[in-house]
């Protein structure tokens, strides 16, 4: 068994599979993970704020940028994590497989780290096109795994810290030694006892291949990882970042598609509002304790109208700038005597769904650019974009830009 | 462990790490049913098996096969071709599930609006063309270097 493991490790040896390369790619991957984690925390608390939390309403594109980074960095993790795993793959066959309890823990933590990371980026990717071929809850598991991944990352860095320090720079002790060894790579490898049978034949087949040239192989590897990362980012990030949208040939969303030149997440049909949203009886109710105002769409249109440019920025990473026209929310709140320390409860016509009823903090409710929007991009709101009236506020996730508004209640 | 600065950092990192693992586990048991948690564990196990047991060995076989098949091809050219295959394969890994999901149907037409199959085919053509061009440039460079060496030797 040991001989088999040793032979496998030897067969897997390749010039890019060295600790310096693992450190170089590991650093990039750690940056991508931390970007995802930070922007993920921000997105989570925007959607489920603690009562004391207040958020910035400027710049209006804040969430567009943080969530665009979240998704784009997540996509960049695919080539980076595969590259990282490539550099360390022979470690899987280390002998002896387990040296003691601590070593077992270390190996178990790496297995958890690798598995959880792969699952995390995979379910995140599938979520960007609303595909859930599993029975667990996406949001809950993505949230829980983020702590597992970052926790295992911290443990992994702690375990490997001496190694990371030895190979941190081009001139670190370990890197220099590696270069020294590389120059006499032609030195014969210690002969290990031959392995028999079919496996032996496979090993001989592998050994019979011409050896890779170390320098070319290393440069080729790092170039392939770099080009892959740049390619996957360049050809998908256009769903989030306008500058890259001409190159968007693979992202699940495309800017400018859909009714009102705006992509749709949840349709009126899915929200079961096809009848209620076009009902002539529709009116928006605004209440503050016992004071209540009810306004029909015609009455809302008769109020002073404001035009703002704000993006719809979806949790799934896509975003779209649009020009909205409607009534300033704070003017409606003044009608019921709300003061600027009070938040809101928003209710949609939707029959069911996690975002039918949502909260809005006072920083958004009283922001000058927050509108009860009636038009978008010069047209009446499409029913899929929230006709007769929807909320649009700066720097909030799309799921909180409530469509098909029904009630606004000022919270005490 | 000696109380060096590095060991202090390591202890702090391990404490953060354990806290993260604990929190992750706590959220999992609070929010998910036992059968759902089993589902997550199965996915994690499957991810490890797919990577370590299927993708990586396949990659090794492909690499060895290319080196054996291309004994007379300069190693640089092989490396460029491998690079092209890697870029194409990783992009395909991200796009093939989109193609499949689109065939199952999406919740509305603005989800997966593109012809991803066609785009992926064109992408592979572009990768092939660029890889070919890189090989030609590499060989031209190699010939020039060889010529220079000969001239300086003479």
Within this chain, do residues A6 and A126 fall inside the same structural domain, yes or no?
yes
Q: How confident is the model at residue A375 (pLDDT cuts 50, 70, 90)?
A: very high
Q: Select from A216, A247, A278 the last residue of a domain.
A: A247
Nearest-Cα residue of chain B relative to residue A37: B20
Per the CB < 8 Å rule, is A136 touching B36? Answer: yes
Within this chain, do residues A358 and A311 fall inside the same structural domain, yes or no?
yes
**Sequence-separated contacts (24+) of B40-49 with Cβ below 8 Å:** B40/A119, B40/A136, B40/A141, B40/A145, B43/A119, B43/A123, B43/A134, B44/A112, B44/A115, B44/A116, B44/A118, B44/A119, B45/A115, B47/A114, B47/A115, B47/A118, B47/A119, B47/A122, B48/A111, B48/A114, B48/A115, B48/A118
* CATH of residue A349: 3.90.420.10
Size of interface A-B (CB pairs under 8 A): 219
Is position A255 within any domain? no
Query: B25: domain range?
Result: 1-31
Residue A1, pLDDT > 90, answer no
Residues in chain B with CB shorter than 8 Å from the CB of A89 are 52, 56
Average pLDDT over residues A361-366: 96
Within this chain, do residues B105 and B136 fall inside the same structural domain, yes or no?
yes
Is position A252 within any domain? no
Residue A337, pLDDT > 80, answer yes
Is position A90 within any domain? yes
Within this chain, do residues B85 and B154 fall inside the same structural domain, yes or no?
yes
**Sequence-separated contacts (24+) of B132-139 with Cβ below 8 Å:** B134/B80, B134/B84, B135/B77, B135/B80, B135/B81, B138/B74, B138/B76, B138/B77, B138/B80, B139/B74, B139/B77
Average pLDDT over residues B34-63: 95
What ipTM score was computed for the predicted complex, to two decimals? 0.94
Residue A281, pLDDT > 80, answer yes
Nearest-Cα residue of chain B relative to residue A12: B60
Residues in chain A with CB shorter than 8 Å from the CB of B11 are 158
Condensed to tens digits (0 to 9), the pLDDT of residues A224-258 reads 999 999 999 999 999 999 999 999 999 999 999 99
Query: Which of A8, A40, A74, A82 should we substitute to test contact with B (largest number of B Cβ atoms within 10 Å)?
Result: A82
Within this chain, do residues B84 and B106 fall inside the same structural domain, yes or no?
yes
Within this chain, do residues B106 and B56 fall inside the same structural domain, yes or no?
no
Considering CB atoms only, which of B52, B67, B68 is closest to A212?
B67
Residue A185, pLDDT > 60, answer no
Per the CB < 8 Å rule, is B75 touching A210? Answer: yes
Query: A346: domain range?
Result: 261-410
Q: Comparing A172-186, A330-344, A353-367, which segment has the lowest mean pLDDT?
A: A172-186
Condensed to tens digits (0 to 9), the pLDDT of residues A54-66 reads 999 999 999 999 9
Q: How confident is the model at residue B148 (pLDDT cuts 50, 70, 90)?
A: confident
The tally of domains found in chain A comes to: 2
Residue B13, pLDDT > 80, answer yes
Within this chain, do residues A221 and A369 fall inside the same structural domain, yes or no?
no
Residue A386, pLDDT > 90, answer yes
Q: What is the pLDDT of residue B153?
A: 62
Per the CB < 8 Å rule, is B60 touching A111? Answer: no
Residue B62 contacts A, CB cutoff 8 Å: no
Within this chain, do residues B98 and B135 fall inside the same structural domain, yes or no?
yes
Within this chain, do residues B2 and B68 fall inside the same structural domain, yes or no?
no
Quote the minimal CA–CA distance from A212 to chain B in Å. 7
Q: Comparing A325-329, A399-403, B71-75, which segment has the lowest mean pLDDT?
A: B71-75
Condensed to tens digits (0 to 9), the pLDDT of residues A21-44 reads 999 999 999 999 999 999 999 999
Residues in chain A with CB shorter than 8 Å from the CB of B10 are 158-159, 161
Q: What is the pLDDT of residue A140?
A: 97
Within this chain, do residues B81 and B115 fall inside the same structural domain, yes or no?
yes
Within this chain, do residues A267 and A235 fall inside the same structural domain, yes or no?
no
The tally of domains found in chain B comes to: 3
Q: What is the pLDDT of residue A188?
A: 46
Q: Read off the pTM.
A: 0.93
């Amino acid at each position: 068994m040991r001989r088999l493991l040793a032979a496998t490790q030897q067969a897997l040896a390749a010039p890019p599979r060295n600790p310096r390369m693992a450190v170089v790619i590991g650093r990039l991957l750690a940056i991508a993970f931390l970007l995802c984690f930070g922007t993920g925390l921000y997105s989570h608390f925007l959607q489920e704020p603690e009562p004391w939390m207040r958020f910035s309403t400027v710049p209006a594109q804040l969430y567009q940028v943080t969530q665009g980074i979240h998704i784009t960095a997540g996509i960049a993790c695919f080539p980076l994590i595969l590259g990282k795993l490539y550099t360390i793959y022979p470690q899987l066959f280390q002998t002896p497989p387990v040296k003691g309890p601590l070593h077992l823990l270390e190996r178990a933590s790496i297995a958890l780290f690798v598995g959880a990371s792969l699952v995390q980026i995979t379910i995140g990717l599938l979520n960007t096109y609303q595909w859930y071929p599993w029975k667990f809850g996406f949001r809950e598991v993505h949230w829980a795994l983020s702590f597992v991944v970052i926790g295992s990352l911290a443990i992994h860095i702690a375990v490997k810290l001496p190694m990371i320090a030895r190979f941190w720079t081009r001139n670190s002790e370990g890197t220099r030694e590696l270069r020294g060894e590389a120059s006499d790579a032609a030195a014969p490898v210690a002969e290990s006892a031959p392995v028999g049978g079919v496996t032996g034949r496979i090993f001989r087949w592998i050994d019979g291949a011409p050896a890779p040239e170390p320098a070319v192989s290393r440069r080729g590897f790092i170039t392939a990882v770099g080009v892959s990362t740049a390619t996957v980012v360049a050809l998908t990030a256009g769903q989030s970042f306008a500058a890259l949208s001409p190159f968007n040939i693979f992202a699940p969303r495309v800017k400018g598609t859909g009714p009102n030149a705006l992509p749709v997440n949840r349709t009126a049909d899915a929200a079961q509002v096809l009848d209620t949203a076009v009902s002539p009886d529709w009116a928006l109710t605004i209440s503050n304790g016992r004071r209540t105002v009810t306004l029909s769409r015609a009455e809302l249109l008769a109020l002073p109208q404001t035009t703002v440019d704000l993006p719809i920025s979806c949790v799934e990473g896509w975003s779209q700038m649009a020009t909205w026209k409607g009534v300033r929310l704070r003017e409606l709140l003044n009608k019921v005597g709300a003061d600027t320390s009070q938040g809101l409860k928003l209710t949609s016509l939707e029959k069911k769904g996690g975002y039918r009823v949502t909260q809005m903090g006072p920083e958004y409710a009283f922001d000058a650019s927050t509108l009860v929007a009636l038009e978008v991009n010069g047209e009446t709101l499409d029913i899929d974009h929230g006709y007769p009236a929807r909320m649009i506020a700066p720097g909030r996730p799309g799921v909180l830009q409530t469509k098909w508004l029904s009630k606004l209640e000022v919270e005490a | 462990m000696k109380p060096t600065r590095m060991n202090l950092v390591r202890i702090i990192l391990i404490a953060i790490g354990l806290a993260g693992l604990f929190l992750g586990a706590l959220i999992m048991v609070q929010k998910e049913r036992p059968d759902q948690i089993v589902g997550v564990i199965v996915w994690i196990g499957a991810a490890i098996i797919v990577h370590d047991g299927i993708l990586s060995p396949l990659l090794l076989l492909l690499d060895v096969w290319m080196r054996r098949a291309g004994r007379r091809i300069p190693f640089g050219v092989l490396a460029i071709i491998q690079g092209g295959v890697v870029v194409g394969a990783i992009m395909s890994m991200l796009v093939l599930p989109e193609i499949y999901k689109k065939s199952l149907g999406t919740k509305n037409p603005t989800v997966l609006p593109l012809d991803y199959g066609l785009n992926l085919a064109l992408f592979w053509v572009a990768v092939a063309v660029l890889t070919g061009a890189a090989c030609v440039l590499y060989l031209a460079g190699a010939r020039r270097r060889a010529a220079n060496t000969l001239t300086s030797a003479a």
